[in-house]
Chains A and B, each alone.
Chain A
Amino acid sequence: MPEPRDRSHEVARLAMINRQFHTVVPHNRALGLEIAELGDGDARMRLPYSPDLVGNPDTGVLHGGAITSLMDACCGAAVFMRLTMPVPIATLDLRIDYLRPADPGRDVLAHASCFRITRNVAFVRGVAYHDDEDDPVAAAAGTFMLATSPGRTRSKP
């Protein structure tokens, strides 16, 4: 049974992770991406709406590229949350299906889960949504390569 967590500790922990996340990843900072929740092989992130990220000035709808960055970052975070020891990861492939346009003026959330990890490759799927995960704006599927650090590998092949 997991111990019940004090919510204030959780908030402080997320604030600390967000600071590191922004310091470490300049593009996430530029987009204003925030980590909303982290779990075992699981991540939730928020992309705040910004006029800078609009793809169609007639409608105010966000550009797909911003959603791609959100999904890439969130899928990557889900993989990190599944690693038993931190190693660099690299996106191998990422597929995004745009299910409907994002609503202008609203933040977009992403939820990604790493559902399988091997010695070399991690498999992730996720969705982007406004407030209902069952009514997604986009769906994503990705694979990530795990870096091999010489001398630090856990087991021989």
Chain B
Amino acid sequence: MSKPLIDLIAEAKRDNQPGRLTEAVPYARFMGLSMHHVAGELLGRLTYADMLVGNPALPALHGGAIGALLESTAIFQLLWEAETVVLPKTIGITVEYLRSGRPVDTWARGILTRQGRRVANVRVEAWQDDRVRPIAIAHSHFLIVPGPDGEEGASA
């Protein structure tokens, strides 16, 4: 990768192309995670693929795949909205699983609940066909200060 990720993100924001956010992240491509503008909102999408299934008997999506959608959407929402010059590092995420994820596309919306000087809190909801029946909700918090590598948190 020639350009640093933070520069690619700045370009995507400047050109108002949220789809480019995920193209630069190998894990997002692998999972089929993408970001879209839908009716004025930035939404995350996990495109259904058989490899995302955790329980084929139901069938249901893997809890980790739903968690990945929630965490990615939170990070991209934060990058899109906040004037951060560093990649947010995830300090923690709590996922509540409300319904099993059926084998269809899943959408997510992140709300930046608080942005402090060092920490940002993001709440995320994921749903499938019916937005008022979320399949999972996450609370997450991120470190958004530049600092020496390898201190706290996982890198975005």
Contacts and interface: CB of A to CB of B under 8 A. Distances in A.
B1 A58 contact: yes
Most chain A CB neighbours (cut-off 10 Å) among B27, B72, B150? B27
B54 A27 contact: yes
A65 B68 contact: yes
Contacts of A101: 89, 149-150, 153-155
Given A26-B50, A68-B67, A98-B90, A55 B96 contact: no
B150 to A, nearest CB: 6
Interface residues of A, number: 47
A67 B156 CA distance: 12
A137 B150 CA distance: 11
Contacts of A100: 150-154
A17 interface: no
B102 interface: no
A28 B54 CA distance: 7
Contacts of A67: 154
Interface string A33-74: 000000000000000000111111111011111111111110
A95 B97 CA distance: 11
Interface string A90-112: 11111111111110000000000
Interface string B77-102: 00000000001011111111100100
A83 B130 CA distance: 34
B141 to A, nearest CB: 10
A69 B30 CA distance: 14
Contact of A94 (B27, B95, B152): B95
Contacts of A64: 68, 71, 90, 93, 154, 156
A77 interface: no
Contact of B64 (A27, A56, A88, A97): A27
Nearest to B33: A65
Contacts of B150: 100-101
Interface of B: 1, 4-5, 24-31, 50-57, 60-65, 67-69, 71-72, 87, 89-97, 100, 149-156
Given A98-B152, A101-B150, 5 more contacts: A27-B62, A54-B26, A88-B57, A96-B93, A101-B154
List 7 tightest A-B contacts by C-beta distance, closest first: A69-B64, A65-B68, A63-B27, A27-B62, A98-B154, A68-B67, A30-B51
